[in-house]
Structure 1
Amino acid sequence: MVEVIGAGFGRTGTMSVRAALEALGRGPCHHMADVLGEPAATVRWTAALRGDREALRAAVAGYRATSDFPGCLLWRELMDLFPDAKVLLSVRDPESWYRSAVRTIFDPVMDQVFAKLGPETVEFVAALAERGYRRHPGRDAAVAWFTRHNAEVRAAVPAEKLLVYEVREGWEPLCGFLGADVPPEPFPRVNDSGDFTGTVARFLGGG
């Protein structure tokens, strides 16, 4: 059962959030990395993005948390399915977010990644676009989408169930929100732009 719903967009530290949640015992945590490359998962998420409630339930079966796309686009639906879950909105400055996104998730090289993943991914990408995630949106449209999404989450989620969070804040706000002890190890910092680029290059190179 999902206990923590990650409503923050990719490139707001969602991979670090995933690692942190799992370190705090809220794992496994679903992330876009769990979707790409697995046709069955892609099919489930395509149906979920298009309104199939049971497909969404199946897509997150076995997970205790979500982070990143595509789950962040379905935060309302996940709240309906899991009314006791808390919502974690990871954020960053919109301009900084866009600069990171252009170098990573909006980079044209991602078209090659999706093409390599198989025919099921075509419908998945289309379903993401129907929810607002367009591959090459342009700066103004992307920043407006990011800002609007964050404002909608802030407005809709009860304050006692919501943490608006920047990963640079580290363990303390997250642990306080979840009622967990602060771990002795440093807060995880993973998947910066350089990590992302290296992962994509290895994937396309077959390594």
Structure 2
Amino acid sequence: MKVVMAGYSKTGTKSMAAALRLLGYKVYDFMDHFWYHYEDWMKIMERQSTVEDFRRMYQDVDALTGCPAFAFWEEILKAFPDAKVVLTTREEESWYHSTVGQARVLESYYKFPLMQILTPTGRKYFKFYRALARVVDGVDMNNPFHYTYHYNEGLQRQKYRQHQKYCEQNAPKEKLLVYSVKEGWGPLCAFLGKDVPSVPFPHSNVGGVYIEDLMEVHPAFDRMEREWRLVLFLLTAMGLYTSYKIYSHGWMGKAANFFSNFARRRFSCFHLSIS
């Protein structure tokens, strides 16, 4: 482990993951934590962590970014004491509105909440995200259709300030870079001892579109998509079979007669009560 990203979510963590990969690092970001270490992280978030857990999980990884790793930067640094810490920062007003904006994007992507209910991988993802929300935000999410309902603005801003200030005050000064992605390659490469790449600094997840991007490339979403297609196939097959049975047994006509008679009786009672 060479780099631990300690910056809060929506402070440029996706851009940092892309930048570190361009610098040659093997990076684990949010979905990688879920995909490769789901059981470990559920144990860590629901019970406790040990230095040995993190050392085993990330011994072959160069850099960590995103949730839930940023919330455990101190424990991870104990497991890898030679690693450097990058604390990404962002102006608070911009950070908060970006956080809420991304949640609204997730809510508007209709298929994604349904996947979290109807597919095995999706249900695991929601369980993971729910545990993360409890640990990082101190709130509980009841369902995957409402990502914004739990955003208490004052509380979220306070947690953001506390996390950023705590890291800045407690990370070893000689290993810490307080950094904004707006600064580009220069400060980051100087801190890491890397040559400045010839390509522009990446800017990822602009407007909170990372779900659509990940749908195309990440194995977790590939599996979720395949499970989703199977669920749709099975539901369609069940619907067709049920329709066939209803038709073949004459249940449709019986149901129509039942509702017709029911309506006639109700109308008759209504007519008598008026009379």
Q: Could you tell me the TM-score, scaled by structure 1's length?
A: 0.84
Structure ID, larger Rg: 2
Matches of residues 23-38 of structure 1 in structure 2 within 5 Å?
A: 23-25=22-24, 27-36=25-34, 38=35
Q: Tell me how far apart the structure 1 counterparts of residues 214 and 27 of structure 2 sit (CA, whole Å).
A: 21
What SS class does the counterpart of residue 136 from structure 2 fall into? coil
- Alignment check: 8 A CA contact 1:43 1:124 kept: no
For the pair 1:8 / 2:7, whether they are aligned, the reply is: yes
> Alpha carbons of 1:20 and 1:108: their partners in 2 closer, same or farther (altered >3 Å)?
closer
Matches of residues 59-70 of structure 1 in structure 2 within 5 Å?
A: 59-70=57-68
What SS class does the counterpart of residue 204 from structure 2 fall into? coil
Q: Tell me how far apart the structure 2 counterparts of residues 58 and 70 of structure 1 sit (CA, whole Å).
A: 17
Matching residue's letter, 1:161: K
Structure 1 partner of 2:86: 88
Dislocated runs of 4+, deviation >3 Å: 105-108, 113-123, 197-207
Matching residue's letter, 1:51: Q
Deviations 1:76-110 (A, max 9, x none): 10011011111001110111111001011476628
Matching residue's letter, 1:59: M
Matches of residues 145-184 of structure 1 in structure 2 within 5 Å?
A: 145-184=159-198
Structure 2 partner of 1:44: 40
- Alignment check: 8 A CA contact 1:7 1:67 kept: yes
**Which runs of 5 or more structure 1 residues have no equivalent in the other structure?**
none
Deviations 1:17-61 (A, max 9, x none): 111112222x2111102134x3x5222211233323243334324
- Alignment check: 8 A CA contact 2:55 2:80 kept: no
- The alpha carbon displacement at 1:71 in A equals 0.6
- Alignment check: 8 A CA contact 1:48 1:56 kept: no
Q: Tell me how far apart the structure 1 counterparts of residues 53 and 134 of structure 2 sit (CA, whole Å).
A: 17
- Alignment check: 8 A CA contact 1:12 1:97 kept: yes
- The alpha carbon displacement at 1:10 in A equals 1.7
What SS class does the counterpart of residue 104 from structure 1 fall into? helix
- Alignment check: 8 A CA contact 2:29 2:66 kept: yes
> Alpha carbons of 1:121 and 1:197: their partners in 2 closer, same or farther (altered >3 Å)?
closer
- The alpha carbon displacement at 1:158 in A equals 1.9
> Alpha carbons of 1:91 and 1:199: their partners in 2 closer, same or farther (altered >3 Å)?
same
What SS class does the counterpart of residue 209 from structure 2 fall into? helix
Structure 2 partner of 1:140: 154
> Alpha carbons of 1:190 and 1:119: their partners in 2 closer, same or farther (altered >3 Å)?
closer
Count residues in correspondence: 203
Matching residue's letter, 2:158: A
Q: Tell me how far apart the structure 1 counterparts of residues 214 and 159 of structure 2 sit (CA, whole Å).
A: 25
- The alpha carbon displacement at 1:194 in A equals 4.9
For the pair 1:100 / 2:114, whether they are aligned, the reply is: no
